[in-house]
Amino acid sequence: MMDRTAIVASSSGLHARPAKIFVQAAARQDVAVRIRVGQGKAVPANSMLGVLSLGATHGTEVTLEAEGPGAQEALDALIDLLSRDLDADEVPSG
């Protein structure tokens, strides 16, 4: 199991538009990714309700976990998203 941490950069946290962008990107990954806040329960990163339930606000540290072939690439892509203000950015294509 690989894990990486990131600080949520979006000004509204992982709510509304940023959460939607993140969940859609997670769903496109070749491996299952889970996300958690602190030592809390990890939820599927491709679940809108799960991600919203984290209550991750701007500046919250989150941990992403994935396992298997492609895990590193999936985590890199999602960490990149979390490190940007998705409220200000254009919607990523793909």
> Is the dihedral angle over the CA atoms 52, 20, 14, 94 positive or is it negative?
positive
Structure tokens at 40: 């809390």
Catalytic residues: 15
Q: How far apart are CA 5 and CA 49, in angstroms?
A: 21
Residue carrying the six token digits 């990107």:
25
Q: How far apart are CA 42 and CA 64, in angstroms?
A: 8
Of residues 89 and 27, more confidence is placed in 27
Structure tokens at 24: 């859609």
Question: What band does 53 get if pLDDT is binned at 50, 70 and 90?
Answer: very high
Question: What band does 93 get if pLDDT is binned at 50, 70 and 90?
Answer: very low
Taken in order of first residue, the domains within the chain and their CATH numbers are: 2-82 (3.30.1340.10)
